[in-house]
Amino acid sequence: MFNSPAPRHTPRRGGSLAPPSIRRGTPSVFSERDRDRDFPLTPSVRSSRLPPIRRVSPTSSAGDTIRTARHEVEQYEKVYWSKDATHAVSSAGPLPREVQQLVKGAEDLVVRPLSGSIDPQSGFAFIASSSTCISWNYAKRTHSSPTCYTFPAPRSSQGHGASAPPVISALYHGSNGSEPGMILVSPTGEMRIWESMNLALANVDRFQRVELELEQDDFVQKIWEISSSTLIVTTTTSQAFRLNLTSSAGRCVPSVTPLTKSGGIFGRTTASIFGSREDREGVVAVTSSAGSVFMMAQRTLQKWALGAEGQKVSFDLTMSSILRADDKYLQEYDLHDAVGQTLYGNQWSPHRVHLELNDLLAFSQEELAVLVSYSDHQSGSGSKRIHNSHAIVLFSIHPKSNALTVDRIVEVSYLAHPDPRMLDVPRLSIPSGSPIAFIRFADVIVMVSMLPDSPYEDVIVLKESHRNAFLGVGCRSGSAKHAISPSLIVMPAIGGLLTVEVFEAADEALSQEMTATARLKSKMEQAVFFGDRSENPLSFDLPAGFKGDPAEAALAVSAEVLASSSPYMPTIFELRPQLSDRLLREKELIRFVRSNGLLSMLPQTTRRALSRDAEKIKASIDLWDHQNRLMDHMIPHSPQSLLSDAITAYMSRHDSSEDGDVVRLFFRSHLHEIDSLLTTVVSTFRAATSSDSRMDLGPWVEEVNNIFISVNRAASQLREDEHATYEIDRLRPASELWTAQDALIDSLDGLYSITEGLIRDRTRDLGSVVDEPPSASSHLRSQQEVQAHLKRQMVDLAAALCTNMEEKMRAAKTREMDKGVDPKLGASLAERWAALKPRVIRPLVGIDRVSEAYELAEHHSDYSTLVYLCHQPKTTRGQVQLQTYIERFGEVFAFVLYEYYIEQGQLHALLSQDEVYGHLLTKFFDQYHYPELAWMHHIACKRFGEAAASLHTVATTSQELVKDHLASSIAKLAAVAEIKTRGPSQTRVDLLSTIDDELELVKVQNDLRESLRSDSTTKRGSPSIENFVVTNCKGLENRPAFKALFIDLGRRLLEGKALDVEGLIDALTLKDNHGSSAGDSAVALDRLTKSSDLPEGRKEVALISIWRRVFIQDDWLAIARTAGRSEKAQRGLQRQTLTYATVRALGEIKDFPSNYIISPLTATQPPLLAEVAARFPERPAGEIEMLMRDHEDEIRTLQRYMNEAVLEERVKEVVELVREDTASAEDVIGIGGEDGEGDVEM
């Protein structure tokens, strides 16, 4: 079933006389007598029966009552249900109790159809069912319930069942004009006419009875008023009867004559005045204009001229014959095709497009307005689609030819929905002289501008549409002072009568198209200011497919509420109720946003801004309550007047022209600047307290703290209470809190420091007794109370500081991730936050606020402070609390605790943790580098492999040989235990091999240390490295930098210090290596091959240095002088060289890499300055230069041997000699190939 009535199918003859349920619309609807009246209507007012509206809260002003002039004399209260710049909907009075009992909810309209109408001319309204009609004077103001006039409906000779249509009803205006009469017509044609309403009270059986002569299967459909004495009755088969009501001897005399027209060439007449089959399914609309009557069927429009009496002869324009008569049929026009071609042009086809003519009105003397609904047929579907597209088509009447031509089309964007109830919708209403047309649907009234260059459209929607519907409508010419069109009065089933007015402010809106966002904002305003009352029958929910930016609209409405600048704000003189009203408006706004599914369309910044506005109002309420308590006892320029003094100073700086109550002015219209006011409060406080050093700061500090704490507490409370409403992402906030601005955080921080210092000073001046609980017997009771209050404030300030700072840090982190803000800002803020938490929480222990300190540290995840608190003597929680926190927070707390143990040297407490938390300690050691402690935990847990790895790390990083040796020895034991318990694996074997290498390295250093000790012992028995250099480092005499380096390395070894690889290589190769130390160069090469953490460049420098010192150790010039020397002696000299000893020692090392053996030519490569500087980053540039000169001196010596002693060939002879001496071809080492480039093969 559709909103617009479906076409009625003519029943077959011989069937039931009752109207079938599939017929178009309802056979009975209210009278349309007021739809096309050209005479002015009497202004009506709301009945005094409307009870006064009691405001249950300051927010109930959605239907604020306003004293409005009644004919500029009588005052009455008007209750607005909706109001904006273009229109207003107000209450015109409730429905009488008898009518409410008849309605019983609009859901009954499915089985108990009702119809109604409103007559602003007489002030009467009525509602009709199938059995009765109740009328009342809604415009008459009384102090009691209005008088209801009940008329029994004529019985139909056919039974209609439970869903019988309502009786056809209309008001009759007699000649006396004091009270209207009532006309009731049954579907089967019985008509009852009461001359006056009073007959329903005195003698309801006194009525005139008329019987319409209907054909079989024909029923009365509707009655239309043409004038006060003429009405048209139409039927379901498109018959029309003219009803004349005349007065004779003081009595109403009705006369009924059928309207007929010629049908055929012989002038036969037919009961149906329309010829086509579609047009014989009922008359859709009847209207009058310029003395003519227009009747519209499904496709055709007819023009008639009615005489003073009934019809005599018809006038057929299609025939050339002109017959004079009183009631004349003048012309017929095919509106269906005309409208279809106008809407669709060449694409018009009645088979493709379903088009219905819904209503007809006279728009002016020469224009008709036709309401149409249309939609395309669904492909492949035999059923009709819902006519959810509508338009108003304006036809012009040619004054001479009487032809109708399409003037223009007014499109309607509203899409109607189907409604199963038997309602006469859609219907069109255009008040006389109004540019606004009203289209009534089941639960919606659409307002459309008829002006061609000023598009405007808005809707009035009933809430609970399944229970409510518009039953009737009426137009009146009297309206509000600023209305540009006569008001419309509508009758919903629930909610009472409503008046709709369009204002002069709509002129501008009609002259320029309102933006979609402005429309959306207007809708939000209606919901916020008028939608919070349960008795408001209107709904402000947004339709599907609405347009506009909801974020921009919501912010604009919220800002107006915060600044109290909205024109719809109710006038509330008392400040606190006014503030409370504004707060509830903010809550109503977010409720509307949520209920309409807009919250997901609001970005996080908008949600935070909406919450901010509500928070400021809430904070202002608490601030005003505090100020209000002090005002009666306020002394100028005292602590009690701090807030008012700050407001006065702030308003004076902003050029306020208000000379009166600036405090209340601020709270009424400047709440959006409350954050700036707080900074003014601080500056006012500092100015007042800095003038006198002997001033008692206690009251001043208490007052300024009260102001800041009150604001922060109220804002925080609202955030907590409404968190689920605004759904703000607290973990990743898009913007920071308004209370977290830098200026406010700095102010809080400063007040915290001042309060802390004041408490400390008072304790020093008054003694520790001031910190005791207030006692009645103490002479310092008042001072103790002040001290206790300051301590509470210190706690509150700490809480506010932590809350705002944490939110600020989170917002900065979000901006960094989402907007690419410089990460240095976030890092700086994080450092400040990390330092602030312990700085403001830990001092609370000193003022005996331990529980509060715990609570703050827990809430803000300050784990270091929690650990600190648990180890303070004033706390009694101790180890039990530590275990509780480990269970609650897990590893994030446990790791901080373990760090604390290490920093405090409480290693036993660390390593003696309960076995339950062993996995946390294991994870801690995995993530944090404490191998010197981790190995003990691993051994305790029998994780020998992890223990060996940790011990190896300890050994390699140790600076002492003894510790290195001990750690490596235990590591080897652990590695062996790991292999024995879990079996060998490549990883475990490699670890054991690495530990063996470390032990070997320790052995090398210990052997070198013993060598140095034995050769450098002085006469007194103490070793001296200088003595060793004199006797064992002949080559360093001309190399001072290397000499100093060797002395430093030797001294460290003698002191038991461990050397790194490069230092060990220098210690092994810079001294004279002969005899028992001849293999030290090979040891240095072996250690170099096993070093994995040395950069490649520096590794290459070390390799070249070793071989260069090997080659220059011997006097090759003397060896090269072979004169007078036998071959045997020559070979003996070669075997005594360091080159021979080194090469032969390398041959004994298993799998020694051949690329670590180089030729003398390669050894002449000098190191880079950067490579030498990288090894000694702490040394000045001068020392680096000296080291480079010593390297160059070694290179010059090597080059001299190469040039004068042919060293390349001499080395080859030495290699060959080693091969012969080893007597094994597999162990021969060759240095230098045939090309002499130093390639090596083994």
Name the strand (E) or helix (H) holding 1068.
helix 1061-1069
What percentage of the chain carries pLDDT values higher than 70? 85
Whether 516 has a pLDDT exceeding 90, the answer reads: no
Candidates 172, 269, 270; CA nearest to 218 is 270
Candidates 614, 753, 586; CA nearest to 674 is 614
The mean pLDDT value for 690-719 works out to 91
Whether 137 has a pLDDT exceeding 90, the answer reads: yes
Instruction: State which amino acid sits at residue 661.
Output: D
Instruction: State which amino acid sits at residue 102.
Output: L
**At CA 916, angle to CA 913 and CA 919, rounded to 5?**
85
Q: pLDDT by residue (tens digit) across 397-456?
A: 887 777 888 999 999 988 888 788 888 889 999 988 788 899 999 999 999 988 887 778
Candidates 229, 252, 235, 356; CA nearest to 286 is 235
Whether 32 has a pLDDT exceeding 80, the answer reads: no
The mean pLDDT value for 888-902 works out to 94
Decide: pTM greater than 0.85: no
> If you search the block for the tokens 């430093």, which residue do you land on?
1048
Candidates 69, 7, 433, 485; CA nearest to 236 is 7
Question: When comparing pLDDT for 1091 and 634, which is higher?
Answer: 1091
The mean pLDDT value for 1016-1042 works out to 78
Q: How confident is the model at residue 1010 (pLDDT cuts 50, 70, 90)?
A: confident
Candidates 183, 198, 275, 269; CA nearest to 232 is 183
Take residue 170 and report the two structure tokens written for it.
């209309």
Q: How far apart are CA 244 and CA 1026, in angstroms?
A: 144
Q: Are strands 132-137 and 181-185 parallel, antiparallel or unpaired?
A: unpaired
The pLDDT value recorded for residue 410 is: 93
Whether 347 has a pLDDT exceeding 60, the answer reads: yes
The pLDDT value recorded for residue 148 is: 94
> If you search the block for the tokens 């045997």, which residue do you land on?
1128
The pLDDT value recorded for residue 22 is: 31
Q: How confident is the model at residue 55 (pLDDT cuts 50, 70, 90)?
A: very low
Q: Which residues, 6 or more positions from 828, have their beta carbon under 8 angstroms from its beta carbon? A: none
Whether 568 has a pLDDT exceeding 50, the answer reads: yes
What percentage of the chain carries pLDDT values higher than 90? 48
Candidates 540, 534, 535, 532; CA nearest to 561 is 532
Take residue 288 and report the two structure tokens written for it.
């009058």
Q: pLDDT by residue (tens digit) across 789-816?
A: 999 999 999 999 999 999 999 988 888 8
The mean pLDDT value for 93-103 works out to 90
Whether the Cβ atoms of residue 182 and residue 194 lie closer than 8 Å to each other: yes
Question: When comparing pLDDT for 434 and 125, which is higher?
Answer: 125
Take residue 728 and report the two structure tokens written for it.
């703000």
Whether 1237 has a pLDDT exceeding 50, the answer reads: no
> Backbone dihedral region of 1075: left (phi > 0), alpha (psi from -120 to 50 degrees) or beta?
left
Q: Report the range of poorest mean pLDDT among 478-482, 539-543, 923-927.
A: 478-482
Whether the Cβ atoms of residue 465 and residue 485 lie closer than 8 Å to each other: no
The pLDDT value recorded for residue 45 is: 31
Candidates 438, 449, 434; CA nearest to 485 is 434
Q: pLDDT by residue (tens digit) across 277-296?
A: 888 889 999 998 888 899 99
**At CA 1067, angle to CA 1062 and CA 1068, rounded to 5?**
100
Q: Report the range of poorest mean pLDDT among 136-140, 228-232, 266-270, 755-759.
A: 266-270
The pLDDT value recorded for residue 898 is: 94
> If you search the block for the tokens 């700490």, which residue do you land on?
798
Q: Report the range of poorest mean pLDDT among 177-186, 404-413, 772-781.
A: 772-781
Query: Using the 8-state DSSP alphabet, how is residue 768 labeled?
Result: G
The pLDDT value recorded for residue 264 is: 55
The dihedral sign for the CA sequence 602, 607, 608, 609: positive
Q: How confident is the model at residue 9 (pLDDT cuts 50, 70, 90)?
A: very low
* Neighbour-count burial for 67-99, b at 16+ CB within 10 Å, e otherwise: ebeeeeeeebebbbbbbbbbbbbbbbbbbbebb
Whether 321 has a pLDDT exceeding 60, the answer reads: no
The pLDDT value recorded for residue 1015 is: 72
Neighbours of 861 (CB within 10 A): 13
Whether 1239 has a pLDDT exceeding 70, the answer reads: no
Q: How confident is the model at residue 717 (pLDDT cuts 50, 70, 90)?
A: very high
